Amino acid sequence: MTRRTLVLGGARSGKSAHAEGLVTDDVVTYVATARRYPDDVDWSLRIAQHVARRPTTWHTVEAPAPGDLVALLTATAESDPPILVDDLATWLAGALDDAGAWEGHGIAEVEQRCRQLVDAVSQTRARLVLVSAEVGLGVVPGTHSGRLFRDHLGSLNARLAEVCDEVLLVVAGIPLRLREAGGTR
């Protein structure tokens, strides 16, 4: 049985929609990791589009603080409804924000948060689908903050892939299976 699935993809690749299609239960816990910025109209529109796409029977939990997601995953029971987390790139951005890592502080705190998340994912007993951006396939970012984000997200994705039963990469709306449930790790 596939318990934990990691769905990776680039911007507008269809990764979120594909991940949503993987959970076919009527009741799903959808964990939104993005922070809301009232002055950012485009970001609010993107969030609204995601909300409109979800079935009304899904329960949305907003978990913009890094500790919120870890606590939620740690508290799961096998009988809980499936959990879909969208997405880990916004989760990591929040962890970097909270630690002051963009300014060169708190990298150890970010690493600790990432370890806690990987541990929580590995121990989650409910069906879990994680969505994350794949940002390592393009050019090297021209800014320190861009490289910091890319490097930490790439490392986090690799560690999560090790504890997930199934790993998919969505390219142009087409899912490519990198690891099948029951496959080798």
pLDDT in tens, 121-147: 999 999 999 999 999 888 889 999 999
- What does the block give as tokens for 106? 């708190």
Token digits of residue 135: 């940002």
Domain count, the chain: 1
The CATH number of residue 21's host domain is 3.40.50.300
* 184 in a structural domain: no
**CA-CA distance, 163 to 87, in Å (whole number)?**
17
In this predicted model, which residue has the larger pLDDT, 67 or 84? 84
Strand partners, 168: 7, 177
* Assigned domain for 185 exists: no
> Given a cut of 90, is residue 50 above it in pLDDT?
no
Give the tens place of pLDDT for each residue, 141-168.
999 999 999 999 999 999 999 999 999 9
Provide the pLDDT for residue 34: 87
For residues 50 and 19, the answer to whether their CB atoms sit within 8 Å is: no
Length of the chain in terms of residues written: 185
Active site residues: 50
Would 136 be classed as within a structural domain?
Answer: yes
What integer pLDDT is reported at residue 109 of this predicted model? 96
Does a structural domain hold residue 144? Answer: yes
Task: Name the pTM for this structure.
Answer: 0.92
- Domain that residue 91 falls in: 4-179
Percent of the chain topping pLDDT 70: 97
pLDDT recorded at residue 75 = 94
* 37 pLDDT more than 90: no
pLDDT at res. 96: 96
pLDDT of 183 > 70? The answer is no
pLDDT band for 65, please (50, 70, 90 cuts).
confident
| Cβ-based neighbour number of residue 134 at 10 Å | 20
pLDDT level of residue 66 (50, 70, 90 thresholds): confident
Examine residue 59 and state whether it is found in any structural domain, yes or no: yes
Evaluate whether residue 152 is within a structural domain. Answer: yes
In whole angstroms, give the CA distance from residue 95 to residue 101: 8
Strands 59-62 and 128-133: unpaired
Note the pLDDT tens digit of each residue in 72-92: 999 999 999 999 999 999 999
Q: What is the DSSP string of 98-156?
A: HHTGGGT--HHHHHHHHHHHHHHHHH--S-EEEEEE--SSSPPPSSHHHHHHHHHHHHH
Structural domain contains residue 142? yes
